[in-house]
Structure 1
Amino acid sequence: MFRTRRLALASVAAAAATALVAGCASGTGGSSSGASGDTLTLWTHNAGNSAELDVVKKIIKDFNDSQDKYTVELQSFPQTDYNNSVVAAASARKLPCLLDVDGPNVANWAWGGYLAPIDVTGSEVPVKDQLASTVGTYKDQLYSFGFYDVSLAFFARKSVLNEHGIRIPTMDKPWTRSEFDTALAKLKKSGEFAYPLEMGTGGSGEWWPYAYSPQLQSFGGDLIDRNGYKTASGTLDGKESVEWGNWFRSLVTKGYMAKKSGADPNKDFLAGKSAIQWDGSWNAAKNAQKLGDDLAIIPPVDFGNGPTIGGASWQWAMSSTCSNKDGAQEWLKFSRQTKYFVDYAKATSTIPATDAAAQQIADYQPGGKFEVLVQFAREYATVRPVTPAYPYISTEFQKAAQDILAGADPKNALGLAAKNIDNNLKTNNNYAG
């Protein structure tokens, strides 16, 4: 789930990337760890998130009770400390056997020697049945899988849109850029909203590339040239990306959106302070409870190259230094039961990673009130660049986007970010090896 789940990555990205540069050379060599005989340690970022942590505990208990060869022991961390703990443990070659990893970070951790490829053939749920965004691969090898994803969407009140003559878009006919801009102009002119659009600009860290780079991609730009992942110049600062930057800045200059939103954007939306909110599926149930049938769940805008949202959330993996890989993979295989995919979705209000699980949850079933969010995740999700450079890219994009909202020239801000990313790629030999 995104709310705070993705936010930890970028805050430690620079430190992690630095540590990985040193760690990559030694790869998977050195001491093994993570298990004492047939007792395996599992790390999760879910301390403080009891709903999801309870599902993890249930799977561990069920696995331990199901056989008498392996025992999995849990250690949970607050999300704000988790990535730093993994980096430190990797440097000391004291990683656990099993750990969760934020999807966009998989390539970085695999390249750095943190993770080992996994084989979960024979599981109840085949990997091919999952949403593509819930599977982590690097160099054509499987390194991780997740039980859920989340989806971005626009939320609005149907009554407000109808009052102002604004068409409620569908997946067959999403808003165009022109329609969206016209809708915001109408809402602003009405005088009913100080800022008609809420896009969470008070957020931090990974929220920025997760929330806003899909819009840049819909303009035709991207964070890096995905053909080889060897340069950002000409892509992140290309014509289409700069056009996105100018539009993004215009939302502030025209008074459509606050340069920095409040501490709880969804609360502000539900209180009627904004008319349209760019938010995640994690707040869909809360919105529906408050607004009922007046809630409109709206697809992303088509800015010219199709609607796009970010993809990938937290996933499970095995460390490269695990001294009992057979046991670790047995736990991973065991966990891949449809009932657990259902448990995660029910506990966390996330989108199940498989259709079979979605069909067991009323809101996500065909005809369910949130089925459209599953369709968004299936049709619109684009994973963030699958390159070990991603944590650095994430940090650079966040800085550039924040500078743009603060008044920086978009071409200059994106150009500097692209140059810095290219320097990082060059320093790390394009993360070869």
Structure 2
Amino acid sequence: MISSARPAARRFAALLGTAVLTLAAAGCGATTGAGSATGEVTSITALDYYTDATEHAQWGERLNACGRTVGVKVEHTSVPGTSLIPKVLQQASSRTLPDLLMLDNPDLQQIARTGALTPLDRYGVDSGGFTEGIRSAGTYQGKVYGLAPTVSTVALFYNKDMLAEAGVAVPRTWDELRTAAQKLTRPGRYGMALDANAGFEGTWQFMPFLWSNGGDETRLDSPQAAQALRLWVDLVKSGSMSRSVLNWDQSDVHDQFVAGKAAMMVNGPWRIHAMEQAENLHWGVAPLPVPRAGLTPVTPLGGEVWTVPQTASKERQEKAARVLACLNTPDNMLTLAKQYLTVPSRSAVAARYAEQVPSMAAFVRSVENARSRTARLGVKWPAAATGIYIAIQSALTGEQTPEEALKRAQQIATRS
């Protein structure tokens, strides 16, 4: 996925600004990248941030399997997530970009803006059957530059035994969530847990509450935004949620839930494998509660898109695009989704997947209405995301009211 902690928006913006100027001066619209512009192409390069040994090997196998279908070997390299964007910007400036590049979906627009990527319609890559949100995650200025074989989002996990013991139904609305969290709270256990840390993960977990209430990242000082943040404040003030959420990341939230110290949590499907290994843990998962009955939750899209950078060889670009298309076939989507417990990006494949993997059904339903974080603000998203997590911290500590905190968030979002 997902929405792991990423470099500070200000540092990223500085790097990006330098890259834009460098690329403009170098005439990026011509060609960048490594590789011979003539001769038969027998190998291409690919770059991602799958540095875990097992995951790196699995993706290497998948890339080479697709490579064999188009007659190339894929030389696969992974770098740590925090290093990927600086490396890509440096490669763009020095014209040494890989042939196939994976990006966390919120980063695509900022890299496409530099001219370092090529639109996929140039190669006839099929982008049909994707939801609007998923297509949006790979789109810049109306052109599709990246496609994600699978995506992820968040939902509500709950401890079945704890809810049954307390006589609590799975909450579907915010009022039900408040009531359920309070009834489930007792010494040594909180009713609810989520990630409200001072980073992009905190913002990621807040977005469903903002969006589902009709709020918008373009107007962070709206009443709808304040109501969403007020819900989190109320959960902490009532004692239904630990004040420590200010410091927890998503793995900490998971640990609290598995240890029986939280009866419900907001988290993603990437935690399911670990929960399945926990003894005597009987859990369920449902879409996140909404402000009022009848509304549909709107959650953020997590996941990575694969792109074809500008390089010196059109032949290599064509081969890379064919590998990218292979990764996005229905069969490969289904295989990857089952392997990593993510959601296939094509709606028809996702529907089959929900039937085959019932524990993922809630995530499949949520993805249908999920939204790209850059859909409204594009390259200005990081500034808004920073303002949001600062507001969360201020409101949950009591430093400011939700209204005051979000007014400052709006100022931060519009400052850049």
**TM-score greater than 0.5 by the shorter chain:** yes
Using the alignment, how far apart are the partners of 1:66 and 1:184 within structure 2? 52
When residues 186 and 242 of structure 1 are mapped into structure 2, their CA distance, relative to the original with a 3 A threshold, is same
3-state SS of 1:275 partner? strand
Using the alignment, how far apart are the partners of 1:122 and 1:95 within structure 2? 22
Using the alignment, how far apart are the partners of 2:229 and 2:305 within structure 1? 31
Aligned to 1:15: 11
Aligned mate of 1:65, from 47, 68, 84: 68
Using the alignment, how far apart are the partners of 1:384 and 1:371 within structure 2? 22
Aligned to 1:423: 415
State the AA in 1 paired with 2:194. M
Aligned mate of 1:201, from 177, 196, 205: 196
When residues 291 and 222 of structure 1 are mapped into structure 2, their CA distance, relative to the original with a 3 A threshold, is farther
When residues 373 and 292 of structure 1 are mapped into structure 2, their CA distance, relative to the original with a 3 A threshold, is farther
Aligned to 1:91: 93
Please list the CA deviations of residues 273-299 of structure 1 after superposition, one character each: whole Å capped at 9, or x if unmatched: 111111111123443554789422121
Using the alignment, how far apart are the partners of 2:308 and 2:335 within structure 1? 22
Aligned to 1:427: none
When residues 369 and 346 of structure 1 are mapped into structure 2, their CA distance, relative to the original with a 3 A threshold, is closer
CA contact (8 A) 1:42 1:73 kept: yes
Where do residues 328-339 of structure 1 align in structure 2 (5 Å cutoff)? 328-339=320-331
Deviation of residue 60 (structure 1)? 3.0
Aligned mate of 1:388, from 370, 379, 404: 379
When residues 66 and 421 of structure 1 are mapped into structure 2, their CA distance, relative to the original with a 3 A threshold, is same
The reply to whether residue 323 of structure 1 matches residue 316 of structure 2 is: no
When residues 134 and 34 of structure 1 are mapped into structure 2, their CA distance, relative to the original with a 3 A threshold, is farther
Aligned to 2:394: 403
CA contact (8 A) 2:35 2:311 kept: no
Deviation of residue 118 (structure 1)? 1.2
Aligned to 1:278: 266
TM-score normalized by the length of structure 2: 0.85
Using the alignment, how far apart are the partners of 2:203 and 2:101 within structure 1? 24
Aligned mate of 2:51, from 25, 47, 54: 47
Aligned to 2:112: 110
When residues 66 and 181 of structure 1 are mapped into structure 2, their CA distance, relative to the original with a 3 A threshold, is closer
Using the alignment, how far apart are the partners of 2:199 and 2:311 within structure 1? 29
Aligned to 2:237: 253
Deviation of residue 327 (structure 1)? 2.8
CA contact (8 A) 1:23 1:113 kept: no
Aligned to 2:224: 240
Deviation of residue 215 (structure 1)? 0.6
Aligned to 2:209: 215
CA contact (8 A) 1:47 1:77 kept: yes
The reply to whether residue 350 of structure 1 matches residue 347 of structure 2 is: no
Which one has a larger percent helix, Structure 1 or Structure 2? 2
Q: What is the total number of aligned residue pairs between the two structures?
A: 395
Using the alignment, how far apart are the partners of 2:394 and 2:256 within structure 1? 24
The reply to whether residue 153 of structure 1 matches residue 155 of structure 2 is: yes
CA contact (8 A) 1:133 1:149 kept: no
Please list the CA deviations of residues 150-180 of structure 1 after superposition, one character each: whole Å capped at 9, or x if unmatched: 13111112232232232225xxxxx222111
Please list the CA deviations of residues 306-365 of structure 1 after superposition, one character each: whole Å capped at 9, or x if unmatched: 42211141110112345332232232223333332133223212122235544775xx32
When residues 110 and 384 of structure 1 are mapped into structure 2, their CA distance, relative to the original with a 3 A threshold, is same
Aligned to 2:36: 36
3-state SS of 2:256 partner? helix
TM-score normalized by the length of structure 1: 0.82
Aligned to 1:302: 290
CA contact (8 A) 1:41 1:97 kept: yes
CA contact (8 A) 1:34 1:96 kept: yes
When residues 244 and 215 of structure 1 are mapped into structure 2, their CA distance, relative to the original with a 3 A threshold, is same
CA contact (8 A) 1:195 1:274 kept: yes
Please list the CA deviations of residues 207-246 of structure 1 after superposition, one character each: whole Å capped at 9, or x if unmatched: 122211211122221211xxxxxxxxxx101112122222
3-state SS of 1:72 partner? strand
| Unmatched 5+ stretches in structure 1 | 170-174, 225-234, 425-433
The reply to whether residue 139 of structure 1 matches residue 125 of structure 2 is: no
Aligned mate of 1:311, from 301, 314, 326: 301
Identity of aligned residues (%): 24
Using the alignment, how far apart are the partners of 2:190 and 2:280 within structure 1? 23
When residues 60 and 157 of structure 1 are mapped into structure 2, their CA distance, relative to the original with a 3 A threshold, is closer
